[in-house]
Amino acid sequence: MWLPEGLFEERQKHLLGWEDGPVLAHVEDGGTLRVTFPSRNGVPRAPRGIEVSGDALLHSPTSNAFVSFTLDGDRLAVTRHVLDGELRVWSTGLPAAPRGSWTLHDVIETESAAYGTGYVLTLADEDGEDEGSGEGEPTLLRVAEGAEPIVHRPRTAGRAVHWDDDSAVVLLQEDRGPLQPLLHAEPLGDRAAPHVPSAEGRWLDSRGGVALVLTDAPDAPRLALWNPRAATLRHLDTGPGSVADGRFTGDDTSCALVVSTDEGTDRLDLVNLDSGDSRPLETPGAGRLLIRVASPRGTGLYGLSTAGGTSYWWIGRDATVRWAPGAVPPDPALNRPEHTYFAQTPALVHKPPCTATAAVIALHGGPESQERDELRWDGLYRELLHQGVLVISLNYTGSSGYGADFLRRPWKDWAASFRLDLDACLGALRDMGVGPGRTALLGGSFGGSLALLGCVIEKDLAGAVASAPLTDIRKQAARAAVDDGRYAEWFALRYDLASPLPHERVFDPDHLAATGPKQRVVVIHGRNDRVTSFEDSGTVVARARERGLPWTLVSDESGHVPEAADEARFRYERVRDGLAAVLITPGTPAARPAPPGP
């Protein structure tokens, strides 16, 4: 099996629950939702097709069902498709829209002692969005079968993440561009409070009036319990590594499942939130762990690892751990990557099952992110390793997960900082028998920018493949500040924007295009990228070509990150072909140039 094909197919499936194995769903052509069940006692079970339509579709882990919502004039129709085959339809009235008709933007599920399962809809008046009208502000509508709808117009900014009928409070998360989100709690109804509690952080889960939140990212992500009514925020000690995610488990707020990243690999712990005691749960070979579903019955996770393939994990109410393989099988020829330090620079070292004849240094985006043991670049590392290519996943200075000092150290001095990272890595590669002439840099987004910078710093490298790079820091900062003014300060803290000299700005077309005369450079960029600029990539490639340098631009119609399977496959193939062209791997096609057009 070609690994990317299996991965492309699997990542379009949703983990719903566990019945002797993972219950999965995906949308087929034509709109049918296809739910597949694992075999029971060795007997295959037929998949179930659910015909869904309407303005929104929600998976309800609580009721083990899919719920669709349809707005029809002054009525809302709710259809619940239970996975056991039961179909339930009910409707309720809608409040009058101030100026036109409602559009449905979001739905979340809620539970209360009085009404059981309900839903909170975020509605907007489609004719009330004129600047200054005030009538385009979102309206929240809580509906439950057999109960009168409750209308709430938020007093603070943000999207609804939790509605608590029993405590008469709603939680809203305000996304603030480059800054940590801000969580607001406000009373329902007319009981306006003189002070609305708030907290910085990302909402993870809520129960019994208490929220589980992630704070202090990306410097040092920490888990905290936030009680809006008591206006308290209590941080929790969850052990080594940086917290990535978490959910309450059981019937109260005394325990949580917490995913943390330590030395490039994710760890799963059961944490007693009262005592602070933590118990690790065994997930061997899982690599990166992503929480996909949480319900009263348990929590489901999806695992991805270069050597381990993909896997599904289910943590029951009693903390029992169940496992099932995913579509991408383990590779018995490969070992898990080794976390090490090159001088002071951390890295994950993926060793090939044979003698290494070349190397790829992989650079994550962000910059405030980190390389992990996962199926990066849609599993391309496997193909490289079997071709004898050593893969170094470098957590360059400025990465998250290693403390605030490490993250901030390169600010406004990226060239000097990355030179130290690169020199240390190349020195280690020489000790492994691979010189710079057989070493390529591979990066995406800001990692693509560093890949280009690396070729400017070290002209003995074979070259680089840069996917969706940032190549003009001043233009990038200006565009971001138009969308959100807070980006002006964010960029000014990290990068030198004022210098008239390209080499001092570092991430500038004139500077990045000054690579070595023999270095092959392949830039891959989607024409519909809304994060970094395809036009800026075209500029830097044109300047390099004017200097007679062997640069290639490859484009498609994708955005910053491919979404559809065909886009992901195209990006995978072009990155693979680009590395082959840089390293001149025998028997592999060279990167294909961009098609003609504007």
pLDDT digits (tens, 9 = 90+) for 240-251: 889 999 999 988
pLDDT of residue 135: 47
Q: Are 104 and 56 in contact (CB under 8 A)?
A: yes
User: Residue 404: what pLDDT?
Assistant: 93
- pLDDT above 80 for 480: yes
- Taking residues 427-444, what's their average pLDDT? 97
| Nearest Cα to Cα of residue 441 among 268, 578, 266, 259 | 578
Q: Where are the domains of the chain?
A: 1-12+237-330, 338-583
Cα 515 to Cα 252, 286, 484, distances in angstroms: 58, 39, 34
pLDDT one-digit tens code per residue, 195-231 = 668 899 999 999 888 999 999 888 889 999 999 888 8
* pLDDT the model gives residue 136: 64
Strands laid side by side in the 56-60 sheet: 56-60, 65-72, 75-82, 87-93
pTM over 0.85, yes/no: yes
Q: State the average pLDDT over residues 148-176.
A: 93
**Stronger pLDDT, 62 or 595, i.e. the higher one:** 62
pLDDT at residue 584, as a whole number: 78
Least confident of 116-125, 129-138, 559-568: 129-138
523-547 pLDDT, tens digit each: 999 999 999 999 999 999 999 999 9
Residue 66 tokens read as 């899919």
pLDDT value at residue 7: 80
Instruction: Return d(Cα 67, Cα 80) in angstroms, integer.
Output: 4
pLDDT at 594 over 50: no
pLDDT-derived band of residue 3, with 50, 70 and 90 as boundaries? low
The mean pLDDT value for 308-322 works out to 95
- Check pLDDT > 70 for residue 588: no
Query: With 50 as the cut, is the pLDDT of residue 596 above it?
Result: no
Task: Tell me the C-alpha distance between 35 and 31, whole Å.
Answer: 13
Cβ atoms of 90 and 125 within 8 Å: the answer is no
Q: Which residues contact 430 (CB under 8 A, 6 or more apart)?
A: none
Per the prediction, the chain carries an average pLDDT of 91
Q: For residue 569, which phi and psi values (nearest 5 degrees)? A: -65, -40
- DSSP label at residue 320: -
**What does the pLDDT read at residue 465?**
98
Give me the percent of the chain exceeding a pLDDT of 90. Answer: 74
Cis peptide before 218 (omega within 30 of 0): yes
Q: Where are the beta strands (DSSP E) in 238-384?
A: 242-248, 255-262, 265-272, 278-281, 288-295, 298-305, 309-316, 321-325, 338-342, 345-350, 358-363
- From the CB of residue 160, how many other CB atoms can be counted at a distance below 10 Å? 21
Q: Is the pLDDT of residue 390 over 50?
A: yes
The CATH architecture to which 338-583 belongs is 3-Layer(aba) Sandwich (3.40)
Mean pLDDT calculated for residue range 508-521 = 96
Q: Distance of CA 65 to CAs 17, 59, 273, 295, 313, Å?
A: 10, 6, 30, 12, 20
What is the per-residue pLDDT for 27?
87
The gap from C-alpha 345 to its chain's centroid, in whole angstroms, comes to 24
Cβ-contact 468, 524 below 8 angstroms: yes
pLDDT at 125: 87
Q: What is the pLDDT of residue 598?
A: 32
| CA–CA gap between residue 500 and residue 504 (Å, rounded) | 8
Specify the pLDDT at position 191.
Answer: 56
Residue 133 pLDDT greater than 80, yes or no: no
Among 250-264, 329-343, 426-440, the least confident range: 250-264
pLDDT digits (tens, 9 = 90+) for 361-381: 999 999 999 999 999 999 999
* pLDDT higher than 90, residue 29: no
What distances in angstroms separate CA 169 from CA 204, 228, 253, 461, 464, one per listed residue? Answer: 17, 9, 17, 58, 52
Q: What is the DSSP letter of 346?
A: E
| Nearest one of 206, 200, 189, 207 to 222, comparing CA atoms | 200
Residue with tokens 């409707």: 91
Read off the pLDDT band of 131 (50, 70, 90): very low
| Residue 316 three-state SS | strand
Alpha-carbon gap, residue 445 to 240, rounded angstroms: 28
Longest CA–CA separation in the chain, Å: 74
| Rounded distance between C-alpha atoms, residue 438 and residue 358, angstroms | 5
User: What tokens appear for 69 in the block?
Assistant: 């919502």
**Stretch among 56-60, 242-246, 463-467, 594-598 having the lowest mean pLDDT:** 594-598
Cα angle 491-508-482, degrees, rounded to a multiple of 5: 40
User: Parallel, antiparallel, or unpaired: how do β-strands 439-444 and 358-363 relate?
Assistant: parallel
The whole-number pLDDT of residue 195 equals 62
Q: State how far Cα 443 lies from the chain centre.
A: 17
Provide, rounded to the nearest whole percent, the portion of the chain with pLDDT above 70: 94
Q: Is the pLDDT of residue 167 over 80?
A: yes
For tokens 């952080």, what's the residue? 201
> Which pLDDT does position 591 carry in this prediction?
42
